[in-house]
């Protein structure tokens, strides 16, 4: 057999070997696939569904460490420590979903919940179960509440679309200070006494700060404000009636004294051109005016009918005194010089 014939025979054998290897590989893949299908089918036939209203997990000492249960209004998952105390719980009901955490004595010290109306709540307590802090989010905005060891509300901080408010209370739970900042930028601080009576208000509205002080009956007694025209001070009596007004405007300082009926009886003012003091009767009629204008002091007195009766002036040359008739026509009864 020649070399060419041998090479041709060898090539034909290689071709037959490749075809056999491909067939063998296909058979192996088919067998493995059938085995996998059979194994999967066998596992499926062995699966079982366990149904129960309560499922407990126990440790090596047969103590319950976890409990999953379905009750009338929802589902609960409870976790226990090695002493059998409840340490954590998750509950889902139609009204709310909550997570509770407990200390080593089984006392709930933290609770996180969401109600069906959208209220979310985080509540933390001390070892006695007293609420120390509560953080909630309502439809109006977030609220933070802090309590003392007796469960008395001491601090409330809230924010809404209308503004932010902070309230501080004493040991009896009575509000003593309240700070409010509205959406327009105005701010207000209110202070009350142990009886809940308003005693002071400090505010700022439209860049006009003000301070008001109240007595034990919550009647205003002192008012201090810085307005656009200038500062002003108001003092009131025990009935809340303003009796004294002191202000400084663009024209100068002004002091007004009023009687118990609110009528101005004394007015003292000082401007660049004149300083004057006016006295009025109980009807508000001006009865006397003492003034200094252009270095000339003068005194003018009137009767109850508003008629000028006496005029006294001191000029650079000499003083003068004039007495008028009561007819209101300005008739002079006597004059000197």
Q: What are phi and psi of 29, to 5 degrees?
A: -60, -40
pLDDT of residue 4: 44
pLDDT in tens, 275-323: 999 999 988 899 999 999 877 899 999 999 999 999 999 988 889 999 9
What integer pLDDT is reported at residue 80 of this predicted model? 93
The secondary structure of the chain in percent helix, strand, coil, rounded to multiples of 5, reads 15, 55, 35
pLDDT tens by residue, 240-285 = 999 999 999 988 999 999 999 889 999 999 988 889 999 999 888 9
HSE value, Cβ hemisphere, 13 Å, CA-based, for 129? 4
What are the pLDDT digits (tens) for 48-85?
Answer: 676 778 888 888 888 999 999 988 889 999 999 999 99
DSSP assignment, residue 183? T
Mean pLDDT for the stretch of residues 25-40: 50
Strands of 72-219, DSSP E: 74-80, 86-93, 96-102, 108-115, 120-125, 131-137, 142-147, 153-160, 163-169, 175-182, 187-192, 198-205, 208-214
Calpha distance 334→331 (Å, rounded): 9
pLDDT band (50, 70, 90) for residue 22: low
Q: Classify residue 157 as exposed, middle or buried by CB count within 10 Å of its CB (0-12, 13-18, 19+).
A: middle
Which CATH class for the 49-116 domain? alpha beta
State the maximum Cα–Cα separation within the chain, in Å, rounded to a whole number.
Answer: 175
* 165-175 per-position pLDDT tens digit: 999 999 999 99
Between 256 and 32, residue with greater pLDDT? 256
- Looking at the predicted structure, is the pLDDT value of residue 28 above 80? no
Quote the tokens at residue 274. 């004149």
Question: Torsion over CA of 216, 219, 224 and 226, rounded to 10 degrees?
Answer: 130
Domains of the chain: which residue ranges?
1-48, 49-116
Which range among 28-37, 52-61, 115-124, 324-333 shows the weakest confidence by mean pLDDT?
Answer: 28-37
Digit-coded pLDDT (tens) for 157-216? 999 999 999 999 999 999 999 999 999 989 999 999 999 999 999 999 988 999 999 999
Is residue 152's pLDDT more than 60? Answer: yes
């Amino acid at each position: 057999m020649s070399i060419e014939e041998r090479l041709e025979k060898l090539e034909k054998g290689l071709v037959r070997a490749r075809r056999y290897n491909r067939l063998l590989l296909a058979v192996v893949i088919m067998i493995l696939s059938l085995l996998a299908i059979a194994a999967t089918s066998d596992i499926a036939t062995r699966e079982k569904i366990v149904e129960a209203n309560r499922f407990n997990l126990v440790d090596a000492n047969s103590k319950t460490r976890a409990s999953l249960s379905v009750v009338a209004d929802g589902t609960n998952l409870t976790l226990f420590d090695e002493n059998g105390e409840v340490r954590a719980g998750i509950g889902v009901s139609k009204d709310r979903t909550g997570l509770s955490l407990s200390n080593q004595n089984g006392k709930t010290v933290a609770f996180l919940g969401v109600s069906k109306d959208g209220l979310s709540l985080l509540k933390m307590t001390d070892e006695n179960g007293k609420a120390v802090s509560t953080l909630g989010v309502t439809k109006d905005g977030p609220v933070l509440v802090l309590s003392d060891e007796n469960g008395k509300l001491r601090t409330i901080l809230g924010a809404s679309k209308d503004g932010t408010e902070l309230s501080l209370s004493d040991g009896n739970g009575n509000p003593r200070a309240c700070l409010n900042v509205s959406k327009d930028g105005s701010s207000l601080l209110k202070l009350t006494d142990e009886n809940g009576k308003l005693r002071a208000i400090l505010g700022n509205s439209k860049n006009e700060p003000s301070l008001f002080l109240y007595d034990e009956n919550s009647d205003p007694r002192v008012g201090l404000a810085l307005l656009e025209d200038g500062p002003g001070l108001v003092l009131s009596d025990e009935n809340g009636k303003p009796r004294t007004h002191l202000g400084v405007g663009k024209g100068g300082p002004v002091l007004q004294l009023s009687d118990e009926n609110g009528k101005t009886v004394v007015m003292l003012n000082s401007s660049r051109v004149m300083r004057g003091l006016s006295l009025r009767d109980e009807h508000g009629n001006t009865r006397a005016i003492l003034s200094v204008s252009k270095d000339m002091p003068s005194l003018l007195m009137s009767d109850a009918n508003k008629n000028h009766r006496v005029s006294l002036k001191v000029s650079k040359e000499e003083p003068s005194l004039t007495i008028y008739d009561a007819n209101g026509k300005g008739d002079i009864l006597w004059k000197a010089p």
